[in-house]
Amino acid sequence: MNRMRTDFVPRPAGSAGVSRTAPVAGRRPWAAVLAAALLLVACAFPAWAADVAPLAPGDRLPPLKGELLSGPRVALPDSAAGRPVFLLLGFSYESRHDVEKWAARFRAEFGTHSRLGFYEVPVIGTAGRLGRPFIDGSMRRGLPREMHAHVLMVYRDAGRWKRLAGHRDPDVGYLLLVGPDGRVAWRAHGPFSEPAWREAAEHLARLAAE
């Protein structure tokens, strides 16, 4: 059964389960620290977070603040500078499988499209701050340099972002496609699949053409 769940905003015409893969080589040194930090995130759900409603299509994306592996600080949606942006959020170590599959497919089909931006977003929260230098450094060593500017490390508000993303299963990816106006155009969660990708690609292509 396909567990993917999606929501989207219809736009006027003319407006402009896959098997798991082995971890990418080079990521194992930080696996234990990251897994422990994300386990704490998965267990942490502050009482105030229950008052935060999941994002719906048409909602403006609240500020998502973090630091890229390449160094710059980012605050989305403002840092997107009016470009559509595809966000691939992960809340557990296991969710990296889905996030990496979505990111690889995006790069293969839209990676050269200057109109679209994308970020892998490990949401680690405050629980991982003590291990941050080790986690970030090991991730930089384990990823191609050209990917560093597309990995946004978030060490805050994990409980809030779990709620905003409609968190249910900690071990899958959570996807948000944000339009140039900073509003959610489409959202989904679940394992990568070809039908889900085709749906995402349709919305990406439409936003890119606007």
Dihedral over alpha carbons 41, 54, 86, 142 (to 10 degrees): 10
88 alpha carbon, distance to own chain's centre: 2
Q: Are 176 and 87 in contact (CB under 8 A)?
A: yes
Superfamily of domain 61-208: Glutaredoxin (3.40.30.10)
HSE at residue 30, side-chain half, CA atoms within 13 A, is 22
pLDDT at 91: 93
Q: Is residue 128 scored above 80 in pLDDT?
A: no
Contact between 154 and 82 under an 8 Å Cβ cutoff? The reply is no
> What local confidence, expressed as pLDDT, does residue 134 receive?
86
Say yes or no to pLDDT of 206 above 60. Answer: yes
- The predicted model gives 53-67 an average pLDDT of 96
Sequence-ordered strand ranges (E) for the chain: 5-8, 64-68, 73-76, 85-90, 117-122, 152-153, 173-178, 184-190
Residue 24 has pLDDT above 80, yes or no: no
**Given the DSSP bridges, would you call strands 85-90 and 117-122 parallel, antiparallel or unpaired?**
parallel
For residues 72 and 104, give the distance between their C-alpha atoms in angstroms, rounded to a whole number: 23
In the block, which residue shows the tokens 């990823």?
Answer: 143
| Count of other CB atoms within 10 angstroms of residue 8 | 18
Backbone angles phi, psi at 147, to 5 degrees: -85, -15
φ, ψ at 39 (rounded to 5°): -65, -40
pLDDT digits (tens, 9 = 90+) for 154-164: 999 999 999 99
**Based on C-alpha coordinates, what's the Rg of the chain?**
16
166 pLDDT above the threshold of 80: yes
Is the confidence at residue 28, as pLDDT, over 90? no
Amino acid at 119: Y
Q: How is the chain split into domains, by residue range? A: 61-208
